Amino acid sequence: MDLLDLIDTIQSIADGVLFGTTYALLGIGFTLIFGVMHKINLSFAAASIGAAYASLLILSAVKAPAVVVFLMAAAAGGVLGGLVYLVGFKFIPLANPLATLMSTVGLLLLIDEIIVHTTAGVPLNYPALFSDVIVPIGPFNLRGDLMFVFVLGCVCMTVLLLLLYRTKLGLATRAVSQQPTASQLCGIGIMRVNILTFVITGVVGGIAGAMTGAAIGMLSPLLSLPLTVKGLIVTVIGGLGSIPGAIVAGLVVGGLENFFQFLRGVSERDLYIMLLLFAFLVFRPGGIFTVAAGRD
Amino acid sequence: MDFYLGLIQIIGVHTLLGLSAYCVLLTGQVSLAQAGFFAIGAYVAGMLTVLLHWPLVLALIVSAILGGAMACAVGFPALRVKGLMLVVATAAFGEAVRLFFFNFTYQVQSGAILLGPHGGEGFRQIRYFPEHGWGTLDVVLFIWTIVVLVMAMLWWMDRSRVGAVLRAVGEDELAAQSTGINITAVKVSAMTIGGIIAGIGGGIFAHYTTHIEHIQFGIVLATFAIAYPILGGLSNVFGTLLAVIFIQGLLIEGLRFLGDWRNLLFGGLIVLAMNIRPRGLLDAGVLMTLKRLVSRNGERKGA
Amino acid sequence: MGNAKVLELHGLTKHFGGVRAVDGVDLTVASGEILGLIGPNGSGKSTIVNLICGLFPLTAGRVLFGGADISELPPHTRVALGITRTFQNIRLFGQLTVWQNLWVAQNSGEQRKQNFLPRWLGGSKGARAEIDRMLEFFDLGHKRDELAGNLAFGEQRRLEFARALAARPALLLLDEPAAGMNAEEIEQLDSRIRKMRQNGVTVLLIEHHMELVMSVADRIAVLNFGQKIAEGTASAVQSNPVVRDAYLGTTTGA
């Protein structure tokens, strides 16, 4: 491999890592909900894309600068998160994990179909910020839009970590995730914590959806399934319930994805990701940081 | 008429797919790999009849064996993990199979045309039925003979000690281990049976659609596979059949008059169904009621 | 009642992270004996049962069964050799019928050797009769087709006892079988345990209910903080000051 190839390889990995923040945010969302409810919310990525769509809708009604779109996406994500909890979780008995799995699949399909229905399935352009900026560092070029996505992702994660580890709400959330009954006895309203977790993860998801749109330059309902799969992969590789794990795994998956794409082309890229994941899961089922190991 | 026959074919094949997931779900495992075994069955059976001119039944047997062998091979490592980890691991395997066929090309010149799988374009011209003069009705009968056979075998298995052991593992792995059940062996066996059924289903699917491509075997199909038994309830095999009829017949075909709105309703109805009947449409309660009704009628007739 | 050793624990040790749940316990159970294992909450009694069953790996030490080292064997193999158990919190298969609960548990070495087809598909006549006898013995015959999850608490306890016997064990581990029972039920339990012994089953009984242990056990071992602090006859253990301290929480003497 000569030097130029090496530079190209590193360049593509770097791009992938920058975009990987999106995966990291999605992974955090899955992980948080799993942590609190011990349930999978399969509609999470679809709701995130849905939130990004909703922000476009609002933008088309009111003329606003592009930054506002991101805020709108976050707000819409929060609302959607709350709705998902009400419709897909609240009334289904906790002892029935298969039922919530299925109800969130139903929600995933429902959200996708609402999007298809309102847009007639046509991909929509999404405003990208700083897409014309390119920062050269030595032989490498960092794309402005990806940089923006990366920075936004990092800010979002920092805020989330502060929220979880520095506020009373965060304390309650972590308490519920570890000992639901004991927390209830200590006067923590589980229902309230649950719904707040869904709203918070919804906000994170909305931002992730907007970031995806900004990085790719468009939105399509076809994004939600691949994002669901990637988000789950990140969650699992990072270790169920581990937020730092999800962040690292998100960046790693983003980097690897572009690496394989560079080596073997776009059609084979995911094949290697999937095989790697399968091997990883089977031989290191606890994830990068083994937080939830030994817990059923 | 042909429309309804076509629908009956779809229901038959999807019932096989659902039953393959049913076996695995009985042991408490959620596998999203069933679409992968289904795909393997479809491509293998198609290649055997088209490229090697094998008879269909023989090709289906090979599909079944390969589907089962693959499930067994995947099951050993994969079933070490459970819960969400297993869901994601099996989903990854299923996607890997799909992406393999996305990149898989093996074509043979036959007269003026090339036959065989061709990467992203898929595998066209699986014309076994028309070439051998099978009408739509023949195909329907063929499919349903197999479906009935598989259902009868699973029904019987459910009543036997095998079924009780599978359910015991599904309910409480720790207790099952402590009563002397080898849970790894049980789970891998269930996975293998599931793989065999999915392999057969895939093989039939390839032949009645005549054209398969990788996108048909994606995560959506895998989700449908587990959706049928979960929605139908795990009490017995008829729940799965009922759910397939409910989804494929009622929701997808029956609501066609609603046009675009049909798809919206589809997701919504699944959510609604799980809210109202979290243990499935045919849960233990409904079965009890049915049993009571039947026995009461029997008594009346006897009197 | 020979003196052959059925179960021997040598330096049995299990650490969970920094917690020494079981710390170098030596214990021997002779054939046909009923050994009571008592100790305050959290003293490691249930962990010992789990270790004998092979539910998690040992940190150190060995488990011998009939003289053979079984420390590395998986749980189902230990059942086949003849070790079965009940659970402190009842763990029946609630969605199976009472009858099926015993059916799936017929996993002794002998029962495994039956022909494949009758064992897995029909259930041989002998196997079926055995289940029916067991249900009668535990007074559950009239409930055979009910779902185990629908039974009353006392019936569930009896069914779990029956399930543990379905695999014809040589050694039966009872983890607090009297928890939640009333006086009458405890009396029945007492007589059933004695009956088991007459049939040649060796019993390791973990129990909080002192009256039952004192009445039924030949010998008693006392655990505290994962270590064995006393062993002997009921009266010897009762008068042992170390044991009194462990239960009453004083620190003198120990």
**What are C126-178's pLDDT values in tens digits?**
888 999 999 999 999 999 899 999 999 999 999 999 999 999 999 999 999 99
Of the ranges A12-21, A85-94, B275-284, C190-199, the best mean pLDDT one: C190-199
- In this prediction, residues A253-277 reach a mean pLDDT of 85
Say yes or no for a CB contact (<8 Å) between C84 and B175. no
pLDDT category at A294 given cuts 50, 70, 90 is very low
Inform me whether the pLDDT recorded for C254 exceeds 70.
no
Tokens of A231: 């988000």
Closest residue to B230, CB basis, from A93, A98, A268: A98
Say yes or no for a CB contact (<8 Å) between A282 and B80. yes
Say yes or no for a CB contact (<8 Å) between A236 and B85. yes
- In this prediction, residues A143-153 reach a mean pLDDT of 81
- In this prediction, residues A80-98 reach a mean pLDDT of 85
Between residues A7 and A26, which one has the greater pLDDT? A26
Touching C: B residues 153-182, CB under 8 Å: 156, 160-162, 164-165, 167-168, 171-172, 174-182
pLDDT category at B297 given cuts 50, 70, 90 is low
Say yes or no for a CB contact (<8 Å) between B227 and A102. yes
Q: Each residue of C218-233: pLDDT tens digit?
A: 999 999 988 999 899 8
Range name among A288-292, B135-139, B216-220, B228-232 with the lowest pLDDT average: A288-292
pLDDT category at A289 given cuts 50, 70, 90 is low
- In this prediction, residues C87-92 reach a mean pLDDT of 92
Say yes or no for a CB contact (<8 Å) between C79 and B180. yes
Say yes or no for a CB contact (<8 Å) between B271 and A274. no
Residues of B in contact with C108 (CB under 8 A): 180
Range name among A131-145, A243-257, B63-77, B143-157 with the lowest pLDDT average: A131-145
Nearest chain B residue to C173, by CA: B178
Q: How many residues does chain A have?
A: 296
Average model confidence (pLDDT) for chain B? 88
Q: What is the pLDDT of residue C1?
A: 44
Residues of B in contact with A108 (CB under 8 A): 267
Of the ranges A9-23, B286-300, C82-96, the best mean pLDDT one: C82-96
Q: What is the pLDDT of residue C251?
A: 52
- Three-state secondary structure readout of chain A: CCHHHHHHHHHHHHHHHHHHHHHHHHHHHHHHHHHHHCCCCCCHHHHHHHHHHHHHHHHHHCCCCHHHHHHHHHHHHHHHHHHHHHHHHHCCCCCCHHHHHHHHHHHHHHHHHHHHHHHCCCCEECCCCCCCCEEEECCEEEEHHHHHHHHHHHHHHHHHHHHHHHCHHHHHHHHHHHCHHHHHHCCCCHHHHHHHHHHHHHHHHHHHHHHHHHHHCEECHHHHHHHHHHHHHHHHHHCCCCHHHHHHHHHHHHHHHHHHHHHHCHHHHHHHHHHHHHHHHHHCCCCCCCCCCCCC
The answer to whether the beta carbons of residues A84 and A105 sit under 8 Å apart is no
Residues of B in contact with A285 (CB under 8 A): 80-81, 85
Is A109 touching B (CB cutoff 8 A)?
Answer: yes
Average model confidence (pLDDT) for chain C? 89
Rounded to whole angstroms, the Cα distance separating C2 from C170 reads 14
Q: What is the pLDDT of residue A290?
A: 55
Residues of B in contact with C96 (CB under 8 A): 164, 167-168, 171
Residues of B in contact with A225 (CB under 8 A): 218-220
pLDDT category at B145 given cuts 50, 70, 90 is very high
Is C109 touching B (CB cutoff 8 A)?
Answer: no
Inform me whether the pLDDT recorded for A258 exceeds 70.
yes
Closest residue to A285, CB basis, from B81, B261, B269: B81
Q: What is the pLDDT of residue C108?
A: 85
Nearest chain A residue to B220, by CA: A225
Residues of C in contact with B154 (CB under 8 A): none
Please state, for a pLDDT cut of 70, what percent of chain C lies above it. Answer: 95
Q: Each residue of C23-76: pLDDT tens digit?
A: 999 999 999 999 999 988 888 899 999 999 999 899 999 999 999 999 999 999
The strand ranges marked E within chain B are: 108-110, 113-115
Q: What is the pLDDT of residue A61?
A: 78
Residues of A in contact with B261 (CB under 8 A): 117
Say yes or no for a CB contact (<8 Å) between B78 and A278. yes
pLDDT category at B303 given cuts 50, 70, 90 is very low
Inform me whether the pLDDT recorded for C252 exceeds 70.
no
Residue A39 carries which side chain, given as an amino acid letter? K
Inform me whether the pLDDT recorded for A174 exceeds 60.
yes
Inform me whether the pLDDT recorded for A138 exceeds 80.
no
Q: Which of C90, C81, C91 is nearest to C52 (CA)?
A: C81
Q: Each residue of B259-274: pLDDT tens digit?
A: 667 667 777 888 888 8
- Tokens 């022909």, residue? C115
Say yes or no for a CB contact (<8 Å) between C103 and B164. yes
Measured N-to-C along each axis, helices A224-238 and A97-119 cross at an angle, to the nearest 10 degrees, of: 140
- In this prediction, residues A283-287 reach a mean pLDDT of 73
Q: What is the pLDDT of residue A291?
A: 45
Rounded to whole angstroms, the Cα distance separating C168 from C42 reads 30
Give CA B259 to chain center in angstroms. 27
Partners for B (CB, 8 Å, 3+ pairs)? Answer: A, C
Closest Cα in chain B, distance from residue C100 (Å): 6
Inform me whether the pLDDT recorded for B97 exceeds 50.
yes
Say yes or no for a CB contact (<8 Å) between B266 and A113. yes
- Domain-wise residue ranges, chain C: 1-82+169-254, 92-166
Range name among B139-153, B202-216, C107-121 with the lowest pLDDT average: C107-121
Inform me whether the pLDDT recorded for C206 exceeds 60.
yes
Average model confidence (pLDDT) for chain A? 83
Range name among A11-25, A267-281, C62-76, C131-145 with the lowest pLDDT average: A267-281
Closest residue to C107, CB basis, from B156, B162, B179: B179
Inform me whether the pLDDT recorded for C2 exceeds 60.
no
SS3 B60: helix
pTM here is 0.86
Which letter does DSSP use for residue B27 in this model? Answer: T
Touching B: C residues 6-45, CB under 8 Å: none
Is C91 touching B (CB cutoff 8 A)?
Answer: yes
Q: Each residue of A189-233: pLDDT tens digit?
A: 778 888 888 999 999 999 999 988 888 888 888 888 889 988 988
pLDDT category at C3 given cuts 50, 70, 90 is low
- In this prediction, residues A31-42 reach a mean pLDDT of 83
Q: Which fold has domain C1-82+169-254?
A: Rossmann fold (3.40.50)
Say yes or no for a CB contact (<8 Å) between B162 and C121. yes
- In this prediction, residues B126-131 reach a mean pLDDT of 89
Touching C: B residues 273-292, CB under 8 Å: 284
Residues of B in contact with C92 (CB under 8 A): 175
